[in-house]
């Protein structure tokens, strides 16, 4: 049975249908990619799963129970943690304090261990905002891991990173999954990362799911090539 299942979920903003009758699933222990061109509705799906938005119809279930009755602040307690596309850090807090905030609702591993794991232990007492962008993303990841999640949602983890950092990231995501016994759903623009790290991929276009399968299958899907890969030179 899937750890996360989204079934027939729709969400509109004014006249625009951001997410249109989308269904997708993520199995326990999987690394699943969610891809699609800009404006395809990927981040909206994340915000629906984390209850920041309310779906107009459809069902979202986590570990066999509906998520729709969980308040937004209760999602992390259910075992779902996330990062943000444009890095949402606490401006007044040090790196260590971010991890302590991660442990606010649910205790995962010890703060120091997590800082060491993601490689920001040396900066524990610096303000997170003052770090280079790549490290800020690590801090966000550390905060998410500190809550001891079962499902980790990564919103464009490669965004703004340089080539080497992206190379590292793929390995890190796989190691995270193994070491923390996680399930990972990642939204990503960077095709190399998704194709390398993800075991399965869901493709969105204009708010609809147009394909699902292994990276190799999806890459050869004519609908995907037309909607996405064809326009970005794959």
Partner 1 sequence: MRRALGIGAWLLTVAAGLGVFLVLPHLVSDFHSRDLARAGVFFIAIVGLNLLTGYTGQISLGHGALMAIGGYTTAALVVHEHWRDVWTIPLAGIAAGIVGFIIGIPALRLSGLYLALATFGFAVAIPSLLKKFSGLTGGTQGLRFLESAPLQVTGLTGKVTIFGHTMTQNHFLYYLTWSIGIVGFALAWLIVRGRLGRVFRSVRDSEIAAVSSGVNLAATKTLAFALSGVYAGVAGALLAIQDEIVNPLTYTFLLSILVLVGAVVGGLGSLPGLVLGALFVQYLPKISTHVSGRSGVRDFVYGAAIIVVMILLPTGAGGFLRRVARPLTTWLYTRP
Query: Residues interacting with partner 1, by CB under 8 A?
Result: 50, 52, 71-77, 81-82, 84, 88-93, 97, 100-102, 104-106, 125, 143, 147
Of 17 and 127, nearer to partner 1 (C-beta) is 127
Alpha-helical (H) ranges within the chain are 42-49, 75-78, 95-102, 111-118, 133-146, 163-179, 191-197, 215-219, 222-224, 230-232
What's the closest the beta carbon of residue 30 comes to partner 1, in angstroms?
A: 22
Distances in whole angstroms, Cα of residue 166 to Cα of each of 16, 22, 134, 157: 33, 29, 10, 9
Of 110 and 175, nearer to partner 1 (C-beta) is 110
What's the closest the beta carbon of residue 205 comes to partner 1, in angstroms?
A: 26
Spatial contact of 43 and 86, defined as CB atoms under 8 Å apart: no
Of 140 and 188, nearer to partner 1 (C-beta) is 140
Q: Which residue has the tokens 């996405």?
A: 228
Of 77 and 112, nearer to partner 1 (C-beta) is 77
What's the closest the beta carbon of residue 45 comes to partner 1, in angstroms?
A: 15
What's the closest the beta carbon of residue 126 comes to partner 1, in angstroms?
A: 11
What's the closest the beta carbon of residue 44 comes to partner 1, in angstroms?
A: 14
Q: Which residue has the tokens 């991929």?
A: 201
d(CA 149, CA 141): 11
Of 145 and 198, nearer to partner 1 (C-beta) is 145
State the DSSP code for 223: H
């Amino acid at each position: 049975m899937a750890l996360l299942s989204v079934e027939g979920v729709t969400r509109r903003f004014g006249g625009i249908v951001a997410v249109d009758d989308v269904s997708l699933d993520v199995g326990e222990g999987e690394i699943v990619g969610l891809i699609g061109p800009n404006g395809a509705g990927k981040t909206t799906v994340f915000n629906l799963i984390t209850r920041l938005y309310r779906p107009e119809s459809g069902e979202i279930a986590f570990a066999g129970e509906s998520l729709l009755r969980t308040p937004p602040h209760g999602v992390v307690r259910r075992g779902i943690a996330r990062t943000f596309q444009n890095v949402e850090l606490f401006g007044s807090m040090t790196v260590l304090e971010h991890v302590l905030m991660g442990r606010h609702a649910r205790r995962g591993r010890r703060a120091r261990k997590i800082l060491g794991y993601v490689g920001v232990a040396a900066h524990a007492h610096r303000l997170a905002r003052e770090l280079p962008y790549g490290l800020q993303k690590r801090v966000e990841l550390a905060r998410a891991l500190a809550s001891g999640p079962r499902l980790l949602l990564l919103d464009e983890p490669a965004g703004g990173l340089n080539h080497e950092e992206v190379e590292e990231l793929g390995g890190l995501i796989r190691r995270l999954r193994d070491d923390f016994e996680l399930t990972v759903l990642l939204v990503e623009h960077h095709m190399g990362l998704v194709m390398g790290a993800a075991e399965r991929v869901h493709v969105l276009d204009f708010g609809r799911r147009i394909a699902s399968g292994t990276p190799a299958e999806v890459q050869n899907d004519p609908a995907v090539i037309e909607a996405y890969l064809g326009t970005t030179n794959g």
